[in-house]
Structure 1
Amino acid sequence: MAQATCKRVSSHPAPPTASSVAEDLLSHQYCSRRSNAEVTAPLCFIGGRGGSQHVVKGWQEGKLITKLRVYSGPWQIKAVRLWLSGDGDSEYKQFGEPGGSAWAEFAFQDGEVVTAMSLWGNGAGTRAGWIHFRTNKGRSFDYGMHDWPKKTEYPVNVGSGILVGAIYNAGADIDAHGYYFLDSPIARARATDVCYPNLTFDSHQITPITLDSYSQRNTSPHPISWGFSGNQVAKQSQKWTSQIGNSFTVSLTVEAAVPTVVKASGQFGWQLSVVSTHEAAEEEAHSLTWTVGGTLQPSEAISLVALTRRGKLSIPYNSTIVITLKNGATFSFACSGTYEGLAYTGVEVTDAPTASRLNAKPKSYLTL
């Protein structure tokens, strides 16, 4: 493609004339039909061919661009800073050299997406010149070189409007610029291959809870029947939170085994259930029911308690997040976070610590 020669000098070059304007367009693919579903929309890459290429693919880390700052030069964009979701204020990526250039920035609000974008070169085919976009919140960003006039406008295919990356040719200036958008809105997100590296079978945060008690003494000369029953409802819950957070503002389903409290060899500890599908946060009622009974002989006494074990857990987990777009394309990324769970066992009915039984050995009554 034709490209004008332009030496990098500290003084301001003259604005390009109509006869000297070179092509700013490096890549401008508008594909109305594509044989395969794509994750990102066709790229519009505008500017010159100098500088080293830098590519930010935020979606591969489960991130999107939340803020950008553009530094303007007289006949070029001098530099750009990008912040990705999960980054702190000081954790930005910078391309080009701002020097003492003036700048403008735009911070996206939650749920805010780009509805239209246009890019310009500097009109000489040597640098990036200008960027303009509008969002679904009725806001816009419009900034670039401050001496030269804008020439050819290149509309960008913004796809879903979800800004997930950028590409720059850059040295001291931004030689060329382009932006990656998810091609299609997100249909669903799911966490797979969930594992808990620190989970072991131990009694960590497992506490016995007394639900009810029962005492009876047979003071009659005849055998009597006794019964101890009850029902209580406890709330069990599980929640998977991510260090990345919900960058793509879509509900997450989790395909995972859930830590539960079980009894093995007389000890209570944590053990994983079978893998099933869950919401990222859910709560359910757990019925705690018990029914036991028997016969007391004359002068025999019984004292019982109904116990459950409550386990409260907060541990790290690792997983793979798979994002599926409405066009059928998928991408995935590693994700870690914290699992928080509240679980109960069934009910065990056993002798109370102060039980006094005459003419009978202590017993345990297990009811589930």
Structure 2
Amino acid sequence: MFFNPRTLILGGVSLLFAAGAVASDCDDGPWAPVSMTGADTGAPWCDTMWKQGPVIAGVEAWANNERLKAIRFTFSDGTVGPMHGREDGDKHGAISWHPADDKIVQATTWGDGRGRRVGRVVIKTAGGKVLDVGKDTDGQAQYDHVVGNAGIMMGAFGHAGYDIDLLGFNFLRGEIKKITVGDVKFDQSAEDLNSQKKGLKPQSLDYQHVTNGLTTTITKELSGERSYTQSKTWTSSTMISFGFKYTIEVSGEILDIGAKASTELSFGVQQTETYTSQYEETNKFAWKFSTPVGPGEEAFCRSFAWEGEFNGKYQSTVTIELEDGFKIQYPEIGEMKQVHWSEKTDECQKTDFNDGIPKIPSSKRAISFVA
């Protein structure tokens, strides 16, 4: 049996779901036209996290030769929903996909042929993944659910006892126009991080010590190169659920490692930024410099740079705006990781450095005596 949302969602199901806040979340949302298959017997259930951000990213189902026995959903943040029905029957299937990269193109259900239960379910994604679990439905009417242009399953609902009595889906009703992440505030402040120099450390690129035992002046030269990588990665449920095919704007107190001076780093705050899945850039430090060393004199030379590393959590408010103007808003905790380097410093002096900047621990390379 296939129910039209005009006659059922606005009637009996709303009353059944009204007792619980979670159940009521499946009633009213930014859904494509909703339909369902089965009968309104058994206990009502609703699986959705659309007010918190995660979307459905996996379905597992069990059946026998007569009907769908059980179903369970997994969300994009890894949350596994409860089992509906009873895990039984010799037919079983599971499907999982990444909503940020793949979308649902088909969701079809059949009844059990008696108007009492759900008989079969088929879900297909654009990437070719298929869930097909249930009885032989040859000769039965099939019911195709409207998956919307975005193909994002925001929730599922139904009734269940020992079997799946009724099953329906909540698909996002339109394409996403824009995602904004506002009111960003990190757990740590730039002032505290700078006072502790947390994550900011000097890295030795080269260090050499030479003693001139000759009666003439010599020239000590240092040269070399080293690769380094700068990166910045944002991680949150929104990124996992919707990906970076949409422009994601972020605003608030955004921590960032930048140059205090050309050769030193510090934490600062910027107000706006555009999310990218991951910024990564590889460059090279290259150094070549020399110093004269007089008879009987010593020279201590080094090349070094500051590396800044940050891994911190932030709180924010996410707003997802659809093409029709509807907005979904929810609080979210995310994480940002950043690695940044300063410019290098090249220097020589007649006495050893004692400022705590590390030296390359290689005695053969670091110390030499010219005689």
How far did residue 166 of structure 1 move? 0.5
The counterpart of 2:96, out of the listed 108, 116, 127, is 108
Change in Cα spacing, 1:140 to 1:107, as seen in structure 2 (3 Å) is closer
Aligned to 2:213: none
In structure 1, distance between residues paired with 2:93 and 2:132: 10
SS at match of 2:279: strand
Aligned to 2:210: none
Q: CA RMSD in A?
A: 4.2
Contact kept, 8 Å, 1:319 with 1:334, in 2: the verdict is yes
In structure 1, distance between residues paired with 2:187 and 2:141: 55
SS at match of 1:27: coil
Contact kept, 8 Å, 1:129 with 1:150, in 2: the verdict is no
Contact kept, 8 Å, 1:191 with 1:320, in 2: the verdict is yes
Aligned to 1:204: 198
How far did residue 325 of structure 1 move? 3.1
How far did residue 275 of structure 1 move? 0.6
2:123 matches 1:127: no
Aligned to 1:4: none
The counterpart of 1:246, out of the listed 240, 251, 254, is 240
- Matched residue type, 1:203: K
In structure 2, distance between residues paired with 1:245 and 1:80: 27
How far did residue 179 of structure 1 move? 1.0
Aligned to 1:57: 48
For residues 82-111 of structure 1, the C-alpha deviation after alignment (integer angstroms, 9 at most, x for no partner) is 2222327xx44310112x312322323443
How far did residue 77 of structure 1 move? 1.7
In structure 2, distance between residues paired with 1:269 and 1:117: 53
How far did residue 24 of structure 1 move? 4.2
- Matched residue type, 2:115: G
Change in Cα spacing, 1:324 to 1:140, as seen in structure 2 (3 Å) is same
How far did residue 186 of structure 1 move? 3.1
Change in Cα spacing, 1:243 to 1:43, as seen in structure 2 (3 Å) is closer
TM-score under structure 1 length normalisation? 0.62
SS at match of 1:183: coil
Matches within 5 A, 1:72-83: 72-83=63-74
How far did residue 324 of structure 1 move? 3.0
Contact kept, 8 Å, 2:265 with 2:306, in 1: the verdict is no
For residues 301-332 of structure 1, the C-alpha deviation after alignment (integer angstroms, 9 at most, x for no partner) is xx999987542222222333333334433323
SS at match of 2:83: strand
Contact kept, 8 Å, 1:208 with 1:309, in 2: the verdict is yes
Aligned to 2:171: 181
Unaligned runs of 5+ in 2: 8-28, 208-226, 286-299, 353-371
In structure 1, distance between residues paired with 2:6 and 2:93: 25
The counterpart of 1:276, out of the listed 251, 258, 272, is 272
Aligned to 2:316: 319
How far did residue 197 of structure 1 move? 0.7
Aligned to 2:326: 329
In structure 2, distance between residues paired with 1:142 and 1:283: 41
- Matched residue type, 1:318: Q
Matches within 5 A, 1:288-327: 309-327=306-324
- Matched residue type, 1:282: Y
128-137 or 177-186, which deviates more? 128-137
Aligned to 1:118: 108
2:147 matches 1:158: yes
Contact kept, 8 Å, 2:64 with 2:91, in 1: the verdict is no
Aligned to 2:60: 69
SS at match of 1:137: coil
SS at match of 2:51: helix
- Matched residue type, 1:321: V
In structure 2, distance between residues paired with 1:61 and 1:335: 7
Contact kept, 8 Å, 1:189 with 1:250, in 2: the verdict is no
In structure 2, distance between residues paired with 1:74 and 1:284: 56
Larger radius of gyration: 1
Aligned to 1:366: none
Number of matched residues? 288
For residues 141-196 of structure 1, the C-alpha deviation after alignment (integer angstroms, 9 at most, x for no partner) is 433245x8764432211102222320011122211100121222333433322221
How far did residue 69 of structure 1 move? 2.1
Contact kept, 8 Å, 2:95 with 2:130, in 1: the verdict is no
In structure 1, distance between residues paired with 2:255 and 2:282: 16
In structure 1, distance between residues paired with 2:250 and 2:197: 25
- Matched residue type, 1:337: G
Aligned to 1:136: 126
- Matched residue type, 1:253: I
TM-score under structure 2 length normalisation? 0.62
Contact kept, 8 Å, 2:93 with 2:132, in 1: the verdict is no
Unaligned runs of 5+ in 1: 1-22, 30-37, 214-232, 289-302, 356-368
